[in-house]
Structure 1
Amino acid sequence: MSRAGFVAVLGRPNAGKSTLLNFLCGQNLALVSHKANATRKRMNFIINHTNTQGELAQIIFVDTPGIHKQEKLLNQFMLQEALKAMGDCDLNLFLAPTYDDLKYYEEFLELSNGKPHVLLLTQCDKVSKESILEKIAQYKAYEDKFLALIPTECKNSFDPTQLLETIALFLPSSPPLYDEEILTTSNMREIYKEIIRESLFENLSDEIPYESDVVIEKFIEMPTLNKVYAKIIVEKESQKAMIIGKGANTIKRIGKNARLKLESLEEKKIFLQLNVFAQRNWSKTKEGLKKIGYDFDF
């Protein structure tokens, strides 16, 4: 017997969704940043789990942007991505940091329209045991809404067995939907783009404007070397100068950081060329966003 299905991973911005999925798949494929709303598109992670009875479950986790409401067009696109995943998947997994107010969960309930979900109480290592028990008691008031509540600690001491086996219980009986060797359905261009964006955030911290993005212009794959030509897009010339830096030192640092991550992922040499372009108001019109790869259907 085997099971397979899609699970939308949901929560507020910076709830730890991408960190969890990178841990589960054993690769840094999803962008992780302290910057809120770093994840902008859905991304699938394929986890194969065999329980003690030898039954296989293929769980396709769908990473999503954080659930939030803002009037900016780009934020509207991200909310649309989360809502699509919420409605299309077989099951939802809602991440709730232990120290969070319940308002985030209540907002999720309003949007989910009764979709079956598992509640994952995260970062339990950051609060006292009394606080954990108190938070569990608060969520118990909603126990008719969720299928299961699972408390977890930090990723270093996290055993995912209970989470995976609980999720598997609620997935449809089905043969695997993907080859068991595949980690993600995203193409390499998308993964490279996210790794470069992550390096951009890491090296400029809060200085980097939210309205910045990366486009892979050319990708050449060879047996021992991949060549990647990418452009970083911002909205102002002053932002462009900030990313390039004095003597191009900042862009070199960003490029080196991204290249090392890509080489670790691919286990081969990477040639990476980065250019920076100022494209005024690209994030404020649907046409500008579509050129970057954000397709709207509203």
Structure 2
Amino acid sequence: MRCKMPKSGFIAVLGRTNAGKSSLINYLLNTKIAMVSHKQNATRRLLKAIVMDGDNQLIFTDTPGLNDSQKAMNKILNERALLASQGSDAILFCASVFDDTSVYEKFLEMNSSLPHVVAITKIDLAKKEQLFAKLREYAKYSEHFSAIVPVSTKKAVFRRELLSEISKILPEAPHYYDSENISDAMAKDIYREFILEAIFECVSEELPYSAEVRVKNVSEGDMLRIEALIITDNASHKGIFISALKNIGIRARKLISALSGQKVYLGLEVVVEKNWLKDEKKLIKFID
């Protein structure tokens, strides 16, 4: 009698910007590794989260939000999101309960073969009537998706159901990673995301979009010591970032400490790389 092979596979998490993709990945993992911001277009890098569903191994790839912006960075981020889907076994499409179906319709035009599950997010903010109306809206596309699951990361509901539905559409395969791992990312790459999240939360308006983070050094001893650069594109912005360093540091250390379980020393320096957002070579280098 053949032993049952577990399901294992890579799932690209797609959806428009601010659909709650990163929050959902953290929720499914039960650990925060992906940066979260209420500001749009905050996610820049593809980050994998390794989630065990019983014996099944689900490897989620967080992706930048899909958008129609023609800015150089947003065009590159769109390309990255679509590239992630091409190398996946399945797709988890995220849509807020408050979004219309236009982005999903565009997604269907792009995705011709991969099976997918739709997650309706932020349902804790909606009335039951709004949720039921949204589910009816998606019902006309039922021939395309394998399942549709409403989910709330705030109220922590329907996690089990969502993982189960995704497992169903994955191929039988051995595990790709040790089941104890939570990501294939290096620790310093996750720390960089946490520092960038702190920047997005502590600096207002458009300034966070002109910033990037580079972690220079990570060392462990009596505490975790991290040295990092905050890179901005304009000398006039440097003073603003410097004035916000204390708050950025407090927030980033809290996030890093929660993940690492250690006390954290975080040394931050602000440097200027003029017009890096407009130089495609620099842009690609900085956001890799």
TM-score past 0.5 threshold: yes
Q: Does residue 49 in structure 1 map to residue 43 in structure 2?
A: no
Which residue does 1:252 correspond to in 2?
A: 246
Q: Which residue of 2 aligns with 1:199?
A: 198
Name the residue aligned to 1:216: 215
Contact 1:114 1:145 in 2 (8 A): no
TM-score, normalising length: structure 2 = 0.94
Q: CA separation of 1:136/1:260 partners in 2, compared to 1, >3 Å: closer, same or farther?
A: closer
Gaps of 5+ in 2: none
Change in CA separation of 1:136 and 1:290 when aligned onto 2, cut-off 3 Å:
closer
Shift of 1:199: 0.9
Tell me, yes or no, if structure 1 residue 279 matches structure 2 residue 273.
Answer: yes
Change in Cα spacing, 1:126 to 1:256, as seen in structure 2 (3 Å) is closer
Per-residue Cα deviation, 1:218-245 (whole angstroms, up to 9, x for no partner): 222x243222111111111121111112
After TM superposition, the structure 1 stretch with the greater mean CA deviation from structure 2, 99-108 or 202-211, is 202-211
Structure 1: stretches of 5+ with no match in the other structure: 51-55
Question: Following TM superposition, by how much is the alpha carbon of 1:159 offset from its aligned partner in structure 2, in angstroms?
Answer: 3.2
SS in 2 for 1:284: coil
In 2: Cα distance, 1:264 partner to 1:154 partner: 18
Displacement of 1:254 in angstroms is 1.1
Q: Partner of 1:238 in structure 2?
A: 236
Structure 2 vs 1, CA of residues 20 and 240 (structure 1 numbering), >3 Å: closer, same or farther? same
The alpha carbon displacement at 1:79 in A equals 0.6
Do residues 227 (structure 1) and 225 (structure 2) align? yes
Structure 2 distance, partners of 1:292, 1:198, is 16
Q: Is the 8 A contact 2:212 2:287 kept in 1?
A: no
Contact 1:209 1:239 in 2 (8 A): no
Q: Does 1:31 align with 2:29?
A: no
Q: Which residue of structure 2 lines up, in the alignment, with residue 131 of structure 1?
A: 130
Counterpart of 2:12 (choices 8, 14, 29) is: 8
Higher deviation after alignment, 203-212 or 275-284: 203-212
Partner of 2:258: 264
TM-score, L = length of structure 1: 0.91
Q: CA deviation at 1:130?
A: 2.3
The answer for the alignment partner of 1:83 in structure 2 is 82
> What is the aligned-residue RMSD (CA, Å)?
1.5
Cα deviation for residue 171 of structure 1 reads 0.7
Distance 1:227 1:25 in 2: 26
Q: Is the 8 A contact 1:94 1:120 kept in 2?
A: yes
Moved more, 57-66 or 251-260: 251-260
Matched, 1:115 2:114: yes
Distance 1:254 1:290 in 2: 24
2:31 corresponds to which letter in structure 1? Q
Q: 1:209 offset after TM fit, Å? A: 3.8
Shifted more, 169-178 versus 116-125: the winner is 116-125
Give how far 1:77 is off: 1.5
Cα distance in 2 for partners of 1:130, 1:254 equals 40
Matches within 5 A, 1:134-173: 134-173=133-172
Code of the aligned partner of 2:159: P
Q: Secondary structure at the match of 2:203?
A: helix
Q: How far does the alpha carbon of each residue in 1:175-233 deviate from its partner, in whole angstroms, 9 at most, with x for none?
A: 2111011000011121010000011111123363412110112222x243222111111
Partners of 1:14 and 1:274 in 2: CA distance: 28
Distance 1:110 1:194, change over 3 A: same
Please tell me the residue identity of whatever aligns with 2:210: E
Following the alignment from structure 2 to structure 1, what is the Cα–Cα distance between the partners of residues 26 and 152?
16
1:97 aligns with 96
Q: How many pairs align?
A: 284
Given that 2:24 and 2:153 are in contact with CA atoms closer than 8 Å, whether structure 1 keeps it comes out as: no
Name the structure 2 match of 1:177. 176
Q: Distance in 2 between matches of 1:88 and 1:241?
A: 42
Residue 155 of structure 1 aligns to a residue in which SS? coil
